[in-house]
Chain A
Amino acid sequence: SQKIEQNSEALNIQEGKTATLTCNYTNYSPAYLQWYRQDPGRGPVFLLLIRENEKEKRKERLKVTFDTTLKQSLFHITASQPADSATYLCALGAAGNKLTFGGGTRVLVKP
């Protein structure tokens, strides 16, 4: 069965450092992968999209890589700030834009 794994342990990081989150998947051939941010009690908010034929995408302090051979995506937050503290979800997409989400990784940026 399809499986998407994100590190379930919270990531504690010092302000100014780079946070790196991992998303691994099995038994899936996604057309694209998305990353969302979710704050407590709120719905997810879209951050970045990367397609199967792309290796890397950047948006401001965010960078995503996608390796379809390793079946892995890495999500980087550079120069992290306390306001970046949230749960980050990876989601794999296929036909119909139906998304299959990982369990999310909580990030806590300490000042």
Chain B
Amino acid sequence: DTGVSQNPRHKITKRGQNVTFRCDPISEHNRLYWYRQTLGQGPEFLTYFQNEAQLEKSRLLSDRFSAERPKGSFSTLEIQRTEQGDSAMYLCASSLTGQSGVEQFFGPGTRLTVL
């Protein structure tokens, strides 16, 4: 399967613990996006990379969240000192640069539950 993959698919953690998620984009895609989605809502933009450069972070993203894409391939999203409000589905997407509006390919998501 050459689509976007995310690991783990599910994560249950206790409040205050740190968690890290991984996203492997489609291999030739140089843009990578992270979104968060809660039940009944659409995905909410968190951050995006072009190659290894993080170009934008949402103002809603607290300093407990950090993302990296060290070699311009896979990316990790870390949440420190998790809170119950962090419980959500974390989605990764990738795309090619090029003309405006190029489609994004989404992974299956990592569902985080903070107890």
Contact = CB atoms under 8 A, between A and B. Distances in A.
Contact of B4 (A34, A43, A93): A43
A98 B48 contact: yes
B104 to A, nearest CB: 7
Contact of B103 (A8, A34, A43): A34
Nearest to A102: B42
Interface in B40-59: 40-45, 48, 50, 55-56
Interface of B: 4, 31, 33, 35, 40-45, 48, 50, 55-56, 91, 93, 95, 97, 100-109
Say which size band chain A's interface belongs to. Answer: 20 to 34
7 contacts: A6-B42, A43-B108, A46-B105, A49-B101, A98-B33, A101-B44, A103-B40
B42 A89 contact: yes
Nearest to B103: A46
Contacts of A31: 100-101
Interface of A: 4, 6, 8, 31-32, 34, 36, 41-46, 49, 51, 89, 91, 93, 96-104
Given A97-B31, A98-B56, A45 B42 contact: no
